[in-house]
Amino acid sequence: MPDVFADLVGQDEAVAELRRAAAAAAAVLRAGAAALVTAGPASGNESTADDAATGGLDPAAGMTHAWIFTGPPGSGRSVAARAFAAALQCVHGTGCGECPGCRTTMGGTHADVRLVVPEGLSIGVSEMRALVLRAASTPSGGRWQVVVIEDADRLTEAAGNALLKAIEEPPPRTVFLLCAPSTHPDDISVTIRSRCRVVPLRQPPADAVAEVLARRDGIAPDVAQWAAAAAQGHVGRARRLARDPEARKRREAVLAVPRRLTGIGAAFDAASALIEAAEAEAAASVTEADTAERAALETALGAGGTGRGAAGAMRGAAGQLKELEKRQKSRATRAQRDALDRALVDLAGFYRDALTMALGAPVAPVHTDTAALAGAGAQKWDAEGALRRLEAVLACRAAIEANVKPRIAVEAMMLALWKG
């Protein structure tokens, strides 16, 4: 198994900082163990032993109890957080990738690593309170309790306040790792940000993404290079494009939109097709999980039972089934918006290509397979028209993020693209 930071593409500075912090955290544990042995049961060094037992972290030494990983989509925020969690659990303190601490953390089975991956539109206060309560326990493995919160920008205000209290008064030997697009107050509250160390990540270059796809996933170099450029540095999307024919078909349909915008009716038809494609993709991604979850819950509640009281037990389970349906609906909505956002990113890349061609900028196109179409658009629209269209796509993404109905936002975008 390679080093735990091997999948963090193009982030050399961040990796170096995290390695130093992991080494400092390991030194804290070694010093604490030595102090406890030296103190003994009646040595008079009780304060030293107490400090060691709390794992007193010194930010100046390279390690602290709360971190925020920021960066654009695809930069590897969650990858960095998981890798750092593994390095903290590494028996060598370096993230070797070979020891049980590294393996179980990267596999998602370590008892002292709590991973929060929001499936719905937000992370609620009840979930966060339960997480904070569990994080206050003593590490079972003797190292650190680590809480990794992916998409911390989805914390509700109440959930953020619950997390803030834990960060202000951190439990002994507990480390919080948060992932967010930026440190802007819209993404993460100023009070939380002020108590965390920020690790900024950048969009990895396409060459680095292509190298990882070829080396780790065995993808042909030419396909890896194309996918890395088309995904605009997003490692996950690049892998999906390189390996999934359906993903390539969806991308081709999105990039055909500019040719379809021949009138008002065509604009509304294109909007409907884009929404329906996102809904179909989302449904395909969650249907299997939804069915398995419902079956497991019904079995746990006694569905199919024939004993005395079985029917009554199922009648009393209606509330739990309703709560499950609510969570699944929220997850489906999130999946639809994620699928739609991927399509909008591809469309923005097309208009970006048209803009750079209209300006004669010496940069490579994002979508090499539609470069000729983008060039024709650049001649027809000129730089100003291409820029207006690019801004319309970006405005649609912002509107959906602000909870505007996706169909309304997409229809407005298509009309703006048609009118130019």
CA distances from 254 to 257, 345, 417 (A): 5, 10, 13
Neighbours of 381 (CB within 10 A): 19
In this model, does residue 342 exceed pLDDT 50?
yes
- Give the tokens for residue 319: 């509330």
In this model, does residue 48 exceed pLDDT 70?
no
Contact, 69 vs 201, CB < 8 A? yes
What value does the mean pLDDT of the chain take? 84
In this model, does residue 302 exceed pLDDT 90?
no
Provide the whole-model pTM. 0.75
In this model, does residue 413 exceed pLDDT 80?
yes
What pLDDT is attached to residue 88?
A: 93
Least confident of 58-67, 87-96, 260-269, 274-283: 58-67
The pLDDT confidence band at residue 117, using thresholds 50, 70 and 90, is confident
Q: Where are the domains of the chain?
A: 11-31+63-200, 264-297+323-419
What pLDDT is attached to residue 56?
A: 55
What pLDDT is attached to residue 379?
A: 92
Measure the CA–CA gap between 85 and 253, rounded to whole angstroms. Answer: 40
Average pLDDT over every residue of 29-39: 64
Sign of the C-alpha dihedral computed for residues 75, 78, 84 and 86 taken in this order: negative
In this model, does residue 311 exceed pLDDT 60?
no
Contact, 11 vs 199, CB < 8 A? no
In this model, does residue 52 exceed pLDDT 50?
no
Q: What is the DSSP string of 262-279?
A: SSHHHHHHHHHHHHHHHH
The amino acid sitting at 166 is: A
The amino acid sitting at 56 is: G
Least confident of 55-64, 68-77, 349-358: 55-64
Q: pLDDT per residue over 188-247, tens digit each?
A: 899 999 999 999 998 888 888 888 888 888 899 999 988 888 888 788 888 888 988 888
What pLDDT is attached to residue 81?
A: 94
Measure the CA–CA gap between 130 and 56, rounded to whole angstroms. Answer: 24
Least confident of 42-46, 150-154, 227-231, 358-362: 42-46
- Burial of residue 312 (CB within 10 Å: 0-12, 13-18, 19+) is exposed
The residue behind tokens 């395909």 is 284
Contact, 79 vs 7, CB < 8 A? yes
Q: Does the domain at residues 11-31+63-200 carry the CATH identifier 2.30.130.10? A: no
In this model, does residue 59 exceed pLDDT 70?
no
What pLDDT is attached to residue 402?
A: 85
- Reference 136, options 158, 167, 91, 105; nearest CA is 167
- Give the tokens for residue 208: 């680095």
The pLDDT confidence band at residue 264, using thresholds 50, 70 and 90, is very high
What angle, 0 to 180 degrees and rounded to 10, lies between the N-to-C axes of helices 406-419 and 264-300?
160
Sign of the C-alpha dihedral computed for residues 212, 78, 281 and 370 taken in this order: negative
Contact, 87 vs 4, CB < 8 A? yes
Backbone phi, psi, residue 147, to 5°: -115, 115
Average pLDDT over every residue of 39-67: 56
In this model, does residue 163 exceed pLDDT 60?
yes
Measure the CA–CA gap between 9 and 209, rounded to whole angstroms. Answer: 7
Give the Cα-Cα-Cα angle 68, 103, 22 (nearest 5 degrees).
40
What pLDDT is attached to residue 316?
A: 57
Q: pLDDT over 90 for what percent of the chain?
A: 36
Neighbours of 153 (CB within 10 A): 22
- Reference 228, options 137, 30, 50, 364; nearest CA is 364
Measure the CA–CA gap between 213 and 231, rounded to whole angstroms. Answer: 12
In this model, does residue 360 exceed pLDDT 90?
yes
Measure the CA–CA gap between 182 and 314, rounded to whole angstroms. Answer: 46
In this model, does residue 169 exceed pLDDT 60?
yes
Beta partners for 277?
none
- Burial of residue 220 (CB within 10 Å: 0-12, 13-18, 19+) is exposed
CA-CA-CA-CA dihedral for 19, 23, 28, 33, to nearest 10 = 140
Measure the CA–CA gap between 37 and 52, rounded to whole angstroms. Answer: 10
Average pLDDT over every residue of 290-295: 74
What pLDDT is attached to residue 38?
A: 53
What pLDDT is attached to residue 282?
A: 80
Identify the top-confidence range among 297-306, 334-343, 380-389. 380-389
The pLDDT confidence band at residue 46, using thresholds 50, 70 and 90, is very low
The pLDDT confidence band at residue 317, using thresholds 50, 70 and 90, is low
Beta partners for 147?
114, 176
- Give the tokens for residue 408: 């309304």
